[in-house]
A and B are shown apart, each in its own frame.
Chain A
Amino acid sequence: MLTFNILLVACVAYAAFLFLVAFAVEKRAERGRIGWLRSPVVYTLSLSVYCTAWTFYGAVGYAARSGLEFMTIYLGPTLVFVGWWWILRKLVRIGRAQRITSIADLISSRYGKSNLLAVIVTLLAVFGTTPYIALQLQSISLSFAVFAADTRNGWEMPDLAETALWVAAGLTLFTILFGTRNLDANERHNGVVMAIAVEAVVKLVALMAVGAFVVWGVAGGVGDVLERISAQARPEWTIQPGRWAGLTFLAAVAILVLPRMFQVTVVENVDERHLVTASWAFPLYLFLMSLFVLPIAAIGLEILPPGLNPDLFMLTLPLSLGQEGLAMLAFLGGFSAATSMVIVAAIALSTMVSNHIVVPLWLAQRGGAAGDVRSLVLNARRVSIAAVLALGYVYYRVTGGSAALASIGLIAFVGMAQVLPAMLGGLFWRGATRVGAAAGLSLGFAIWLYALFLPSFGAGVIMPTSLIEAGPFGIGWLRPQAMFGVTGMDPLLHALFWSLALNALAFCAGSLLSFPGPLERVQSAQFVNVFDLPSGARSWSQGTAEAEDLLVMAQRILGASEAQAFFHEAARAQGKAGYLPDVTPDFMEKLERRLGGSVGAATAHAMIAQIVGGSFVSVEELLAVANETAQIVEYSNQLEAKSEELERTARKLREANDMLTKLSVQKDAFLSQISHELRTPMTSIRAFSEILKEGADLSPEELHKYAGIIQDEAIRLTRLLDDLLDLSVLENGQVQLHVQDGNLRTLIDQAVVSSNSIAPERRFVIDRDHAAENIDLHTDTGRLSQVFINILSNARKYCDAKAPRMDIRVTDRGETVQVDFTDNGSGIPGKSQALIFEKFARLTDQMQAGGAGLGLAICREIMNNLGGEISYVPGQGGAAFRVTFPKVLPAAGLPAQSDGDAQEPAQAGRGGASA
Chain B
Amino acid sequence: MYHYDQYDETLVRERVEQFREQTRRFLAGELSDEEFKALRLRNGLYLQRHAPMLRVAIPYGLLNATQLGMLAHIARRYDRGSGHFSTRQNIQYNWPRLEEVPDILAELATVQMHAIQTSGNCIRNITTDHLAGIAPDEVADPRPYCELIRQWSTLHPEFSFLPRKFKIAVSGSPHDRAALQVHDIGLCLVRNARGGIGFRVLVGGGQGRTPCIGVFIREFLEQRHLLSYLEAILRVYNLHGRRDNIFKARIKILMRHLGAEEFTRQVESEWKHIRDSVLTLKPADIERFQACFPEAPYAEPTDEVNTRVEADCRNLRERNPHFAAWMKNSIVAHKTPGYNAVYISLKAPGQVPGDASAEQMEVVAELAERYSAGEIRVTHSQNLLLGHVRRADLPALWAALDKQQLATPNIGLLGDIICCPGLDYCSLANTASISVANNIQEHFEQMDYLHDLGELRINISGCMNACGHHHVGHIGILGVDKRGQEFYQFTLGGSSREDAALGDRLGPAVSKQQVVEVVQHILKLYLELREPGELFLDTYRRIGLQPFKQRVYEDSRATGSH
Query: Does B associate with A?
Result: no
